[in-house]
Amino acid sequence: MAERTESGFLGGIRREFTTQTWALIPVGVALSVVAAYVVNVVRVPFLYLDALGVVLVALLAGPWAAALTGVFVNVVEGFLVNPTFWAYTPLQVAFGLAAGYMARRGWFRRYWKVVVVGLVIAVISIVMGAPITVLAFGGVTGTGSDAVTTFFRATGANIWSAVVGQTLVVEPIDKVVTVLLAALVAKRIPRRYMPDTAARVLDREE
């Protein structure tokens, strides 16, 4: 492993990847994949939580470890569930980077800031996800969200507006809940199991 004294951008990235981080990344990936099962138990509509593991790794390890988690979430979901997930890999990478850098700058220390992080991630998801959905999948996702897209089409919207409209309805809910859950769960981790690389979470609520 690199020495702790190493500085600069690359050094910072290298410091993020301790052996514990490497062991944590598969946990984040599996958590993102299994979250779909847990959501199915409680049945909340339009909640997917497939970014949960990425945001948690962003909190516990850092932005670049989270970006790598994002790559593998979609590779593994493509392997186990549905190959179309492969097309959405860039989104998860961007979520990881955004959540990780915001966590470093203290954006997870208060509830309202956590909501802002969720909204930022939702905006990333809309800006990057809508073109993939329209260009690569003709506007469909194969999930319940298609009903929302059809509704917007029925109001006379073209395919781009309909897909953006759909993501505007679905994404902010999913991403804000994802980020809040990640923060609440991270806050409940006992200190002795907290990795050294972890950012501070919800320690300034009042």
Partner 1 sequence: MSALAGYQRGESVVHRLHPVTKVTLLVCCVLGAYLAPPVALVALLGLLVCSSAVAGVATSVGRAALPILVPLALGLLAIHGFFRAGSGAVLASVGPLTLWRDGVAYAISFLGVLTAFVLAGLVFVSTTHPKKLMTGLTDAGVPRKLGYVFVASLQLVPDLRRRAERIVDAQRSRGLDTRGSVPSRVRALVSLLGPLLIGALVSTQTRSLALEARGFSLDGPRTSLYALSSTRLDWALRVGGVLGVVGLAGWRLL
By CB under 8 A, name the binding residues for partner 1.
1, 18-20, 22-27, 29-31, 33-44, 47, 49, 52, 56, 60, 68, 72, 75-76, 78-84, 86, 136-143, 146, 149-150, 153-154, 159, 162, 177, 181, 184-186, 188-190, 193
All residues at 6 or more sequence positions from 84 whose CB lies less than 8 Å from its CB, including other chains: 78, 137, 142
By beta-carbon proximity to partner 1, the closer residue of 105 and 184 is 184
Contact call for residues 92 and 73 (beta carbons, < 8 A): yes
| Least Å from the CB of residue 101 to partner 1 | 21
By beta-carbon proximity to partner 1, the closer residue of 105 and 115 is 115
By beta-carbon proximity to partner 1, the closer residue of 105 and 150 is 150
In terms of Cα–Cα distance, which of 95, 88, 89 is closest to 117? Answer: 95
Scan for tokens 């203290």, then name that residue: 106
| Least Å from the CB of residue 142 to partner 1 | 4
Q: Is 197 helix (H, G, I), strand (E, B) or coil?
A: coil
Q: How far apart are CA 69 and CA 171, in angstroms?
A: 20
